[in-house]
Amino acid sequence: MTWLLVAAVVGSTVACDLLQSWDMKRHGEVHDFRPSRIAALFARWPLALSVVFMAISFFAFLSLLAREDLSFAVPATAASLVLETLLAQWILKENVSVRRWAGALMVAAGVALLARS
Amino acid sequence: MPMDANRNRDAARGKTALFVALVVLSNTFGNLALSVGMKGAAGSLFASLANAWVLAGIALLVFWTLARMTLLSWADLTFVLPVTSIGYVLNALLGRFVLGEQISGERWLGTLLIAGGTTLAGLTKPGTQR
C-alpha cells in the first residue's frame, strides 16, 4: 500500500508540474499579485486541470504521511524528478545536459536506497 | 549599457533567489505541519482536515503553489526542481530533530544522494526551451 501511495503521489505530481510549467510559460512572467489576477490564472484550463492533479497528489501524500515517517515520505516521492526531467525534455523541449541527467540518476539511486531501508 | 545589463542581471538573480527561498521554506514547513497533524489525527482522512496543524500545512502549501507557479513563469521546470531540492534535506533534519523520528544510516544516505543529485543538476545552466 505504501508504494502504491508513492506511485499515486509521483504520477499526479508529474502531471501537475508539466501542466503548470507549460501554461505559465505561455502566460508569461507574473507581475500583478492582486488576488483577483491570481484567481484569474486558474480560469485557464491547463492550470485548472493541474489543480485536480495537485488535489490527488495532496490526498495521496496525506495518506502516506499517516502511515510513514516524514523523512521517508518526502524523499520517496522525489522519484517524480526523474520522470519530470524526461518529460520536460520531450514535451516542454527544455535543454537537459548530461550533468543534469547525472543528477536525476543520483536521485533515482537515492530513492532505490530508501526502498531498501 | 553594460552597467544597466549587470543591474538587470543582478535584479533577476535576486528575484529568482527570493522565490526559490519562498518555495523551499513554505514547502518544508508545510510538510512538517501536515506530518504533525496527521500523526495526531484520529478518524477519517477528511476528518483530519479539521486539525489546526493540517489546516496550517494546507495554508503553507497553497502559498507554496502560488510561489512555485510564479517561479515557473520564467524558470525551466528542470531548473526549479533541482534548486528547490534542499527541502529534502531540511525535511530529514526537521523529522529527526523536531519530530524525533529515527533515521537509519541507509535512509540518511538515500536522502543525501537525492540532495546531491538534485544539486548537481542545479549547478547546470538553467537553459531555455528550444
Nearest residue on chain A to B80, judged by CA atoms?
A21
- At A20-66, the pLDDT tens digits run 999 998 988 888 878 888 888 889 999 999 999 999 998 898 888 88
Which residues in chain B touch residue A112, judged by CB atoms under 8 angstroms apart? 110
Helix or strand holding residue B69 (H, E): helix B52-72
Mean pLDDT on A97-107: 83
Predicted local confidence at residue A5, as pLDDT: 93
Counting every residue written for chain A, the total comes to: 117
**Spatial separation of the C-alpha atoms in residues A76 and A48, rounded to whole Å:** 27
In a domain, B95, yes or no: yes
Counting one residue from chain A and one from chain B, the pairs whose CB atoms sit within 8 A come to 183
Q: Which among B54, B72, B111 is the nearest to A75, CB-wise?
A: B111
Model confidence band, residue A13 (pLDDT cutoffs 50, 70, 90)? very high
Predicted local confidence at residue B9, as pLDDT: 67
Taking an 8 Å cut-off on Cβ atoms, the answer to whether B99 and A92 are in contact is no
Predicted local confidence at residue A11, as pLDDT: 94
Is A78 an interface residue toward B (CB < 8 Å)? yes
- Residues of chain B short of pLDDT 70, as ranges, are 1-5, 9, 40-45, 125-130
Which chain A residues in 82-111 lie under 8 Å from chain B, judged by CB atoms? 84-85, 88-89, 92-97, 99-111
B68-100 per-residue burial string, b: 16 or more CB within 10 A, e: under 16:
bbbbbbbbbbbbbbbbbbbbbbbbbebbbeeee
In a domain, B130, yes or no: no
Predicted local confidence at residue B34, as pLDDT: 86
Predicted local confidence at residue A99, as pLDDT: 84
* B31 contacts: CB under 8 Å, gap ≥ 6: A70, A74, B57, B87, B91
Predicted local confidence at residue B3, as pLDDT: 63
> Which of B114, B119, B128 is best to mutate for the A interface (most A CBs within 10 A)?
B114
**Spatial separation of the C-alpha atoms in residues B65 and B53, rounded to whole Å:** 18
Residue A113 DSSP one-character state: H
Nearest-neighbour CA in chain B from A8: distance (Å): 16
**Spatial separation of the C-alpha atoms in residues B45 and B124, rounded to whole Å:** 41
Predicted local confidence at residue B42, as pLDDT: 63
Domain regions of chain A by residue span: 2-116
Which residues in chain A touch residue B34, judged by CB atoms under 8 angstroms apart? 61-62, 65
**Spatial separation of the C-alpha atoms in residues A65 and A70, rounded to whole Å:** 6
Instruction: Identify which has the larger pLDDT, A77 or A84.
Output: A84
Q: Report residue A83 as a C-alpha cell.
A: 520522470
Which residues in chain B touch residue A78, judged by CB atoms under 8 angstroms apart? 85, 88, 114, 118
SS3 assignment, position A77: helix
SS3 assignment, position B129: strand
Nearest residue on chain A to B92, judged by CA atoms?
A71
Taking an 8 Å cut-off on Cβ atoms, the answer to whether B95 and A69 are in contact is yes
Counting every residue written for chain B, the total comes to: 130
What domain range includes position B82?
2-122
CA dist list (Å): B92 to A58, A66, A69: 19, 17, 10
Nearest-neighbour CA in chain B from A75: distance (Å): 6
pTM: predicted TM-score of the whole model, two decimal places: 0.78
**Spatial separation of the C-alpha atoms in residues A82 and B83, rounded to whole Å:** 14
ipTM value greater than 0.85: no
Domain count across chain B: 1
- At B53-78, the pLDDT tens digits run 989 999 999 899 899 999 998 888 88
Contact assessment for residue A81 and residue A102, using Cβ atoms and an 8 Å cutoff: no
Taking an 8 Å cut-off on Cβ atoms, the answer to whether B113 and A106 are in contact is yes
In a domain, B128, yes or no: no
Q: Report residue B118 as a C-alpha cell.
A: 538534485
Residue A94 DSSP one-character state: B
In a domain, B92, yes or no: yes
In a domain, B127, yes or no: no
